[in-house]
Structure 1
Amino acid sequence: MIKKILFSYQNKTQLIIAMMGSFLGFTFLVTSIHYLIRVNEFGEGEEILGNNTMIIQKQINNFSSLNITKNDFSEREIERIRNEKFTEKLEPILSNNFDISLQTDSELIPYLRTDVFVQSVDNDFTKIDSTKWQWNPGDDFVPIVLPREFLVMLNTFASAKGIPPISDDLAKSVGFKFTLSSPGKKEMEKVRIVGFTNEVSAILVPSSFMEYGNSNFPKDEPAIITQLMLTVKEGLFGEFESYLKMRSLESKENSMVVGKLKSVAGTLFSILITISGITVFLAGLVLVQYAQLLISRNEYEIRTLLRQGYSPQKIIQSILSYFIKVFAIISGASIVAFALAKYFIDKLLVKGGIQIDSGFTMLSILAVILAFGIYSIVNYFNAKRGVLRTP
């Protein structure tokens, strides 16, 4: 009865325009938030380095080969890079200053021994479980993170011996040994693989093992720092890239490509989120204005209903339930449109070689629910104020 009196004879042109604006705003908003999250997740997979984390080093040229220029970083250079505004965190990568070799220690694969290069990085830069990434003298084994290139080489070697290739999981169960040596001194330590990386070319070991080796098996030459681990602040990848070119520094190409992709896509989606938010806000204002206009035009009807004994709360609930249905239609249509758009966008990304998680992100759906809730609350107080002040 109340809804028929209040809503049946209203011009709904303004309402339809506001609903269309809200629908477009909601759809763009949920789509932008979803793909901003997925873009930031891109390239992570099982990689042990944290987000936006790069390894940088000096470019090698003819002068470096002739020892005219140095390829190591001084303390002054490290501090200068640390103070750049694009730098979130920066620490030197420690390298072994002792002789070390790795050999197989398992019947599953043929005997292989090779000199290796090991490094350690601050654990704040990695996603390695700290409980698995620790070592003290006397422990049963040294945990290591192995470059995938090494596993490929190992599988190539195994295939040449007629042995089936080794999977990641199997490699973690294969026994290895480190041999640390210096003139007149040698020591062997058992090794266990706890992860793999595409970003680091050396075998990663805990910093405590690196300190132990450098202290007990040192070479005559002093240790130098040739690589730095750096985390770039969100949105400042362009400045970081320009700095590398200006200072003749370099990073691994695939890391730069992924970083650039995240930076550009993140900026675009952030702009789209802002525009979508403004659209949703303006459309919401139009809906609120429509509700105010509806109450204003129906002052006589509302007054009559009140005099007939209808409670103000019942009239308010009728107005609120009407607009809740409007908001529900907008939200539902937006989520359906997002699901359809996502299906086609995901297919295009897969064709382009960009593999991302195909699931829905909870935050994008929550954004619609939050906007729905804010609209409903604002409309409730708007309806309450309009009804109660009706003379």
Structure 2
Amino acid sequence: MLQQLLFRNQDKKQLIIAIVGSFLGITFLVTSIHYLVKVNEFGRGTEILGPNTLIVQKRVNSGAVLGMARTDFSESEIENMKKEKFISDVKPVLSNNFDVSFQTDDPHVPYFRSDVFIQTVDPAFLDVKSDKWHWQQGDSIVPIILPRDFLVMLNTFMSASGIPQVSDDLAKEIQFKFTIRNNDKKEFIGARIIGFTNEVASILVPQSFMEYGNTHFALGADKKITQIMISGEENEFGLVEQYLTKHGLESKNSQMVVGRLKSIISTLILVILGISVIAVFVSCLVLIQYLQLLMSRNAYEVRTLIRMGYHPKLIVRTFFVYFIKIFGIITVFGFAVFFGFKLILDGVFSDGGLALSTGVSLYGVLSLLVAYVLFAVASYRTAKKGVFKEYFS
């Protein structure tokens, strides 16, 4: 009876406008947050480099070929890069200053040996999903991350030897060993593959192993820093790219393409997210104003009900439940439409070469809960203020 009495003087047009605005805002809000998270997650777990990370070196020109220009990085250059607001961190890529060879050491695999180039980077720049990425003097096994091209070369060698090729998982079971040496001594240390990468052309080893080799087997002069790793800020990859071009630096093209793609899409989604937040805010504001208007039109009814013995809290609850039900239905329908958009957009991104994970982002769901709670609090306070205003009048 209370609802029939209190909601008979409604202006349906204003209510419909508020519902449509809230529905569109909620739908685009959860969609934009979902894809903003998924785009930023793209590439994680598939490579050993952390997100928004580039391996950078100086571009080789005619001056460098003639020995008139430096291709290494000084400490001051690295420190100046760290001062840029769009660069979160810079670390040198350390290389071996000793001779090292890599060979198979497994009775089930044909003998293979090659002189190699090994490197190490700061662990903060790596995304290694293994608890084996550590080494200390005395350990018999060095964990390594192998360039995928090296595995292709190894499979080619094995195929030419009439032996079946190996998969990634099988390659991780093969025993290898390093031979590290200088002019006076050499040492054999076992090695085991724990991962692969398409982004680094050298074999990666733990920093402690590199320091051990460079300390005990160094060939002479200190090794120059010819490569660095740069971690850029989220959604500011364009500024990083401009900085590299301006200072004659370059990175692997695939890293640049992925970083540029993520930055562009993230920026577009952020724009949509901003519009969605504004739409949700404005539509919720219209609903709250509609609640105020409805209470104003029913001021006489509210006063009459209070005089008849109805407690103000019961009237407040009636208004409150009515409006949170409306917003709850809007939220449910908006979330359902989001799934429809998701099926379409996942296919579009996949066809465009951006294979995003298909799971629903938790942040998108949380955004709906936050919007619902905020609207519930605002509607309750508005209803309480309006009813008690009539109660005390």
Using structure 1 for the length normalisation, give the TM-score.
0.97
- Determine the C-alpha separation between the residues in 1 that align with 2:75 and 2:262: 31
Deviation at 1:195, TM superposition (A): 1.5
Distance in structure 2 (CA, Å) of the matches to 1:279 and 1:289: 15
Amino acid in structure 2 at the alignment position of 1:342: K
Q: Which amino acid aligns with 1:36?
A: L
CA distances 1:34-78 after superposition (whole Å, capped 9, x unpaired): 000011011223311111111110112233233232211122222
**Given the alignment of the two structures, is residue 278 of structure 1 paired with residue 278 of structure 2, yes or no?**
yes
Deviation at 1:84, TM superposition (A): 2.1
Residue 337 of structure 2: SS of its match in structure 1?
Answer: helix
Please state how far the C-alpha of 1:315 moved relative to its aligned partner: 1.1
Q: Which residue of 1 aligns with 2:148?
A: 148
CA deviation after TM superposition for structure 1 residue 373, in Å: 1.2
Confirm or deny: 8 A CA contact 2:130 2:194 kept in the other structure: no
List aligned pairs for 1:182-201, cutoff 5 A: 182-201=182-201
Q: CA deviation at 1:130?
A: 7.8
Query: Secondary structure of the equivalent of 1:389?
Result: helix
- Cα deviation, 1:115-162, whole Å, max 9, x if unaligned, reads 110011111111236842221121121111111111111122222222
**CA distance in 2 between partners of 1:109 and 1:352 (Å):** 40
Matching of residues 206-225 of structure 1 within 5 Å: 206-225=206-225
d(CA) in 2 for partners of 1:108, 1:13: 79
The answer for the alignment partner of 2:59 in structure 1 is 59
1:261 aligns with 2:265: no
Could you give the per-residue CA deviations for residues 193-220 of structure 1, whole angstroms, max 9, x where no partner exists?
Answer: 1222221111111111111111111113
> What letter corresponds to residue 274 of structure 1 in structure 2?
G
Cα drift, residue 177 of structure 1: 0.3
CA distance in 1, matches of 2:33, 2:165: 41
Partner of 2:91: 91
Alpha-carbon shift at residue 109 of structure 1 (Å): 2.4
Q: Which residue of 2 aligns with 1:124?
A: 124
Gaps of 5+ in 1: none
1:168 paired with 2:168, answer yes
Deviation for aligned residue 1:302: 1.1
Summarize the alignment of residues 33-44 of structure 1 with structure 2, pairs less than 5 Å apart: 33-44=33-44
- Aligned residue for 2:111? 111
Partner of 1:309: 309
The residue that corresponds to 2:69 in the other structure is: 69
Provide the C-alpha distance between the structure 2 equivalents of 1:210 and 1:61, rounded to a whole number of angstroms.
Answer: 30
Matching residue of 1:19: 19
After TM superposition, the structure 1 stretch with the greater mean CA deviation from structure 2, 229-238 or 275-284, is 229-238
Q: Distance in 2 between matches of 1:349 and 1:157?
A: 38
**Does the 8 Å CA contact 2:87/2:232 hold for their aligned counterparts?**
yes
Q: In structure 1, how many angstroms separate the alpha carbons of the residues matched to 2:326 and 2:282?
A: 16
CA-to-aligned-CA distance 1:166-216 (integer Å, 9 cap, x gap): 122211111000001111311100001122222111111111111111111
Identity %: 51
- More displaced stretch, 126-135 vs 79-88: 126-135
AA in 1 matched with 2:269? F
CA contact (8 A) 2:94 2:121 kept: yes
> In the aligned structure 2, how far is the partner of 1:108 from the partner of 1:170?
12
Question: How big is the shift at 1:354?
Answer: 1.5
Match of 1:291 in 2: 291
Superposition CA RMSD, Å: 1.4
1:320 corresponds in structure 2 to 320
Partner AA of 2:332 in structure 1? G
**2:375 aligned with 1:372, yes or no?**
no
Answer yes or no: is the 8 Å Cα contact 2:199–2:255 preserved in 1.
yes
Distance 1:181 1:215 in 2: 12
Q: CA 1:381–1:328 in 2, change beyond 3 Å: closer, same or farther?
A: same
Q: Which letter does structure 2 place at the counterpart of 1:259?
A: G
Q: What letter is aligned with 1:245? A: T
Deviations 1:240-261 (A, max 9, x none): 1111111111011111111111
Q: Give the SS at the match of 1:106.
A: coil
| TM norm structure 2 | 0.96
Separation in 2, partners of 1:109, 1:43: 32
CA distance in 1, matches of 2:13, 2:148: 62
Distance 1:27 1:341 in 2: 9
